[in-house]
Structure 1
Amino acid sequence: MKKNIQPLLGSLAILAAITFTFFNFKTQAVHAETWQQPTVTLGTTLTTDQKQGTINTLTKDLDNSNYQTITVNGDTLVKYLNPSGSNFTSNSSVWSSAAVEKTSSGSGINVHILPYNGKNNITTITADQYKNAALTAGVSDANIYVTSAVPIDGSGALAGVYAAFDQNGSDLSQKQINAAQNEMSTLSDINQDNKGKDGYSDAQLNNAIAGAKSDMAKAGHNISVGQITTIVNNQLEKNNIQNIINNNQKQQIINILVQIRDSGALNSSNFKQQAQKLSNNIVDSAKGVFNKLNTQENRNFIQKIWDAIVNFFQNLF
């Protein structure tokens, strides 16, 4: 009798394993990205004319002439933004809108803030801040276009980006979205505090953050606060803003990077590649700023001494 039971138990175990694998595969398939065409997110408060004007603005640069639309309303803001500390309600107005176009693997995150009738109405969030927030939230390989028919901070557009990825099966982590929102708020405040200071730009700050994320990803998800602090110091110096960002602001940056670590973002094998790609993207889009960092007057003291020594011996021989 025991001899007959053992093969039966073995068969049941195999059947159970096959069944688990099948259902697990189906569960994963449900969350697989299903992008067929770009997604345009429209603020619910737009008038009929503003809605058409927004569509015209957002779709003019899309590679695909076909697109789907979704409406971003107060409930969308509550769902994605309130868990990070915002205070939106179902009745909140939404004007800022976005178009999201998925691109080939490894192309990175590109953000373009488009003028509406010749005017940039996104008053607070910069293109580089959108890029960094999208990266932290788990977005990858996408062209994102943002505009607004009226002057507004641009939060609605970012909520629309999150909704567009969820609509297309990405299943973004709310922990990462929370970290992204706090990051964007922190960087926006730091940028406003330092705006107009000689030797400072939003591009340098955001490049330092993107570089820090890349360095953190190389170190792994068990990276310590001390290691993050060292990375921040190195990146601020690399971007020549170590004497502009004060200690309080630096601590805020460390805090948001710790939150990004704790959100699970570093567990993604794609995060490091996207972070490095984002850093390259920021540098390429602000070459005038970063070229100045390589000029003689902005080199560090040791480099200047070494150059002097090299020049001395070259002249001597």
Structure 2
Amino acid sequence: MKKLISLLVVWLFVGLAIAPNALASQGNDVIDERNGKPKLVLGEALSEAQKDEVRDMLDATDPNQVEEYTVTAQDLVNYIGGDPNSSMYSSAKITRKNEGHGLVVNIVNAENITEVTNDMYANALLTAGIENAEVEVASPLKVTGHSALTGIYKAFNVDGESLDQDRMEVANEELDVATNLAEEAGIDQEKVSQLLSEIKKEISNQNPATKEEVEQIVSDQLSQLNIELTPEQKEMLTNLFDKMRNLNIDFGQVADQLDGILSDIQGKLDEVTSEDVQGFWEKVKSFFTNLMDSIRGLFN
């Protein structure tokens, strides 16, 4: 009898250990009937082995749980008038979410996406008209990350829906401007995203009617964020947002999602500042430790 009770107790604990994992597994396999299956968009230039690697990275190995597409250089031409000779490597998985969820972007292996950040993608996607989705980006080799944007566009241009052509084009230009400012102007990537988000908020608040008013908003935000640009770079930024003004893009509709981007950026900036302060005091401590050791050495 004691052996039977002991055996039942063992099985009870085993069951308790297995049940949560089983439930979690079942939860991951549930298809959201309201928003459909996640869409996996793979870069055309990837080899079959690299595609398998991306599927693993993006947790999209079960063909019954995801809709798979390939993004091509022709898609780049169709959506944004891009170069038909472009190589498409970076890939993405897009999961639609209910209204109010917001836009969440996560680069799964950021070490391989060298120029574009989560917040740069998020800003450009909001400009293109994409909201309430979880977007995961990955690449099996080092790339700039620009082609993932076209792949995401493709995911939103199937099943009878389509994004506005002009908004897609200006969003792609925004991504180019963002990476240009980070690379050529030497501005921190988070600062670039913060600048773009703040300008959008002010455009929403002020509703500028002329290019000169847009230019003033750009100048004010550059001043507030202590960012210095050349006249050419400032003109590039002004032209970008004047195009958005002419397209009547209402950033007030996505104010909460812009706030989410800014909150994420601020957290990263605070983290960097905290690390800088800690590093400074570590250097001070190390200096005095070395100094004391040197003084002791003189007397030994």
Q: TM-score, normalised by structure 2?
A: 0.71
Which residue in 1 is equivalent to 2:243? 259
Which residue in 2 is equivalent to 1:109? 103
Equivalent residue of 2:42, what SS? strand
Q: C-alpha separation between the residues in 2 aligned to 1:284 and 1:270?
A: 24
Q: C-alpha separation between the residues in 2 aligned to 1:226 and 1:288?
A: 36
Q: C-alpha separation between the residues in 1 aligned to 2:241 and 2:213?
A: 11
Which residue in 1 is equivalent to 2:188? 201
Q: For residue 219 of structure 1, what is the amino acid of its counterpart?
A: Q
Q: C-alpha separation between the residues in 2 aligned to 1:122 and 1:110?
A: 17
Instruction: Write out per-residue CA displacement over residues 147-206 of structure 1, whole angstroms, 9 at most, x where no aligned residue.
Output: 1122222222110101111225542111111111111112211111233xxxx4111121
Which residue in 1 is equivalent to 2:281? none
Instruction: Write out per-residue CA displacement over residues 58-107 of structure 1, whole angstroms, 9 at most, x where no aligned residue.
Output: 127xxxx932111112221211132xxx3224xx4322100112234333
Q: For residue 246 of structure 1, what is the amino acid of its counterpart?
A: T
Q: For residue 58 of structure 1, what is the amino acid of its counterpart?
A: L
Q: C-alpha separation between the residues in 2 aligned to 1:250 and 1:288?
A: 28
Which residue in 2 is equivalent to 1:87? 83
Which residue in 1 is equivalent to 2:217? 231
Q: C-alpha separation between the residues in 2 aligned to 1:152 and 1:87?
A: 17
**Compared CA separation, residues 211 and 37, structure 1 to 2 (3 A):** same
- Following superposition, the deviation at residue 291 of structure 1 comes to 7.3
Q: C-alpha separation between the residues in 2 aligned to 1:270 and 1:170?
A: 20
Instruction: Write out per-residue CA displacement over residues 237-261 of structure 1, whole angstroms, 9 at most, x where no aligned residue.
Output: 33232xx323321221111000111
Q: For residue 240 of structure 1, what is the amino acid of its counterpart?
A: N
What are the within-5 Å matches in structure 2 for residues 116-265 of structure 1?
120-195=111-186, 200-220=187-207, 223-241=209-227, 244-265=228-249
Which residue in 2 is equivalent to 1:50? 50
Q: C-alpha separation between the residues in 1 aligned to 2:268 and 2:152?
A: 21
Counting matched residue pairs gives 240
Q: Percent identity?
A: 26
RMSD: 2.6
